[in-house]
Amino acid sequence: MAKVASLLPSKSPIRSLVARMRLLYWQDQLLRSYSKRGL
């Protein structure tokens, strides 16, 4: 995920916002997959 963030230009607030939303969504999916396993 760090590589993807480094590819995005820091000048654009929209792209940084999208990257942040993707990260939050990815974390949410990861937590849901863990909760389904009962961890």
39, pLDDT greater than 80: no
Cα(5)–Cα(11) distance, integer angstroms: 12
pTM for the whole structure: 0.50
- Give the pLDDT confidence score for residue 17 in this predicted structure: 87
9, pLDDT greater than 80: no
Angle at 4 between CA 16 and CA 39, to 5 degrees: 95
Burial class (CB in 10 A: 0-12, 13-18, 19+), 20: exposed
- Give the pLDDT confidence score for residue 13 in this predicted structure: 80
